[in-house]
Amino acid sequence: MNAMTRRQLLAAPLLAQRSPSGKPWNILWVSCEDTSPDLGCYGDAYARTPNIDRLATQGLRYTHAFSTYGVCAPCRSSIITAMYPASIGTQHMRSQGVPPPEVKCFTESLRAAGYYCTNNVKTDYNFAPPLTAWDEVSNKAHWRNRPAGAPFFAVMNFVVSHESQVRAPEDVYRRNTARLTPDQFHDPAKAVLPPYYPDTPLVRKDWARLHDNITAMDYMVGDTLRQLEEDGLADSTIVFFWGDHGRGLPRAKRWVYDSGTRVPLIVRWPGQIAPGTVTDRLVSLLDLGPTAISLAGVPVPRHMHGQAFMGPHSARPREHVFMARDRMDETYDIIRSVRDKRFRYIRNYQPGKPYAQYISYMDEMPTLREMRRLNAAGKLEGAQKLFFRPEKPVEELFDSANDPHEVNDLAGDPKYAAELTRLRLVHERFMKETGDLALMREAALLERMRPGGKWSTTEAPVLSTANGQVTARCRTPGASIAYSVDGSRWLLYSKPVAAQGRLRFKACRIGYHDSAEVASE
């Protein structure tokens, strides 16, 4: 990075808080499932991703962006709340958490600032999204549905790259990849496999299909960016492209290695970020929400663990990012990890359990079945055998910069003892500071959140009218309030509302049942 580019990058958080139109910047998230930086712009010569590569030439590419979990639900919980899941009780896969009262969906800050917030379409937060989270959440949600003149925050999420689509039936695979030209399909014979996979035709087929699906997703990214241009909004919209966690293959998805947690992140901010910029700044996906809030010119709530990396409320760059693994579907494990720009530290809290535990959904993947078959036959070699060790070490340490596949464990190497100690202390301090619930049994956690298994119900709002304004309050700690005018969509209540038309109010809190509906007199 040359000096001018570096100055431009560092200045970016302080630049214009208004778009060329004179209005607040629109913000668009283009997210995808189960995608590592297996993209052309990240140096993957096997990839065919022209639209994403073009976006990278127009903006800023992050080389050190990471998810908090290697699987969707807890990771998406961290994104929507900007909180570590293990601190708020949403760490187990497909659980129904009850976060502390201060925890809300970060989009409430944007809606309160006048943004029209849409999600097309995935939530999967380990709790049901409250009424106050989105203006629209459906497969038809789009910025084009916003009220005239309103700035928007829009999410477009593409699932074609999900692990399930790698092993989808042939007709589904053909439908997913129908737009690919003949030269865009990936030849399995030319695949460059990670060293921990056996080199067999079946494994190569999965690797090629993974990349075919990413190319199909790239078409969808291109469609979305063209819609933005057609609407004349490209110059007034900040675009983020990111993956929710690493690739959907064994020893990647669900694991805290780079293969499961390192993700692509590209930001295009017209006129504010120099085209083709690259940074090694450490970013966690739970920083995305605070960054959107900051770009809207709104202070970031102080309780959030996430930190803005752009905008007027940008924080200092991180020195470390943190990842975790807890229950995955029917199988329990407890793993925590710390990553800086070079090293990865892993602490296995249940070292007696093997890596290759059975998870029914995960075991549908042909690559994993092939690995299990070859392991049983004693035909795996070298790094291919690592995943099938009968136990895990208590600690692992990898020089990820020089060992990108993280197969050479340095935890027992005296030359790296100082690094091991340093990152162990960072991990232990982090666990204490964030109140990590790693060692609490899930049954005890559920009892604490819902005594006797009973769901709490948010109290109904209490209304008062004075000077032509209706004020709503709720006695349930942490509750948010939604209101509707004359049967219209639910709006976020953030200040008194004019007493006109038929007003309905409802209170909600994450992890609670909604309140009864009340109407103003």
**Could you say which DSSP state residue 273 is in?**
S
Q: Which amino acid is at 125?
A: Y
Q: C-alpha 353: how far from its chain's center?
A: 27
At 423, is the secondary structure helix, strand, or coil? helix
Element (H, E) at 239: strand 237-243
CA geometry: angle at 205 spanning 202 and 211, to 5°?
150
At 507, is the secondary structure helix, strand, or coil? strand
CB 111 within 8 A of CB 89: no
Q: Which residue has the tokens 């979990």?
A: 69
How many CB atoms lie under 10 A from the CB of residue 181?
A: 8
CB 434 within 8 A of CB 86: yes
Instruction: Give the span between the Cα atoms of 494 and 480, in whole angstroms.
Output: 9
Instruction: Give the span between the Cα atoms of 250 and 374, in whole angstroms.
Output: 14
At 362, is the secondary structure helix, strand, or coil? helix
CA-closest candidate to residue 350, choices 364, 368, 330, 336 = 336
Sign of CA dihedral 307, 310, 315, 318: positive
Tally: H helices and E strands in the chain: 13, 19
- CA 270 to each of CA 26, 37, 199: distance values in angstroms, whole numbers, following the listed order: 11, 23, 44
CB 358 within 8 A of CB 342: no
- CA 341 to each of CA 319, 437, 455: distance values in angstroms, whole numbers, following the listed order: 8, 26, 43
CA geometry: angle at 389 spanning 384 and 394, to 5°?
120
User: For the CA atoms of the chain, what is the radius of gyration?
Assistant: 23
Q: Which amino acid is at 281?
A: R
> Counting every residue, how long is the chain?
521
Catalytic option among 32, 41, 72, 474: 72
Look up residue 232 and give its two tokens: 């004349």
Instruction: Give the span between the Cα atoms of 358 and 367, in whole angstroms.
Output: 14
Look up residue 205 and give its two tokens: 């087929």
Q: Is 72 a catalytic residue?
A: yes
Q: Which residues contact 275 (CB under 8 A, 6 or more apart)?
A: 57, 58, 59
Q: State the catalytic residues.
A: 72
